[in-house]
Amino acid sequence: MTGQDVALVLLGVVALGGGVLCVTTRQIVHAALWLVVAFGGLAGSYLVLTAEFVAWVQVLIYVGAVVVLLLFGIMLTRAPIGRNDGLDSENRWVALVVAVATAALLVTTVVLGFGGAHKDVKPGGGSADALGSSVFRTWVLPFEVASVLLLAALVGAIVLSRTDIGAKDGD
């Protein structure tokens, strides 16, 4: 187990702990804050895996934008601030069984498939330079499609949130 493995496992434990607390906490604002911890741990994992650019994009988009958007949603729906026992539904034990079964299946498959695989990782493969030339040469068509998708999502969100352009009365 090299130093890279140790750092990766520790950051993974941070991400997993944040995720578990996010889905089990009884306070809805705390769930958003634990989500920040999980995303931060994952960004650290990307850094350890030498994917610097993806790590900073993760921090910018997820921690910066998505969590703020979720907090806005929490406030706009007037969610109960403070401890609330009604956040989980009654079938949480069924959900736990399904989640444990999923974890067991995936972990067994992964360990059987890649149990002893070992390879040294060299830095430099995830710089903005390398990723940028990849995106704008090989992957330029998906890049443009992603921009159209974002435009469609923007228009859709505007149409959904405006009240004056909905269906007329009697429709």
Partner 1 sequence: MHIVYPAVISALLFAVGVYGVLARRNAILVLMAVELMLNAVNLNLVAFDVWWRDRLHGGQVLTLFTIVIAAAEVGLGLAIILLVYRNRKVVDVDALRTLREDAVPGEGDPAAEAAEAVEAGL
Beta-carbon contacts of residue 84 (< 8 Å; ≥ 6 apart): 26, 27, 28
Interface map 42-61 toward partner 1 (x if CB under 8 A): x--xx--xxx-xx--xx--x
Does residue 106 bind partner 1 (CB under 8 A)? yes
Of 1, 141, 165, 167, the one binding partner 1 (CB under 8 A) is: 1
Token pair listed for 55: 């790590």
| CB nearer to partner 1: pick between 72 and 82 | 72
Contact present, 136 and 143 (Cβ < 8 Å): yes
Is 39 an interacting residue with respect to partner 1 (CB under 8 A)?
A: yes
Is residue 81 part of the contact set for partner 1 (CB under 8 A)?
no
CB 41 within 8 A of CB 15: yes
* Residue 150 sits in the site that holds partner 1 (CB under 8 A): yes
Q: Is position 135 an interface residue for partner 1 (rule: CB under 8 A)?
A: yes
- Which amino acid is it at 53? F
Q: How far is the CB of 103 from partner 1 (least distance, A)?
A: 4
Q: Say what angle helices 128-137 and 140-161 make with each other, to 10 degrees.
A: 90
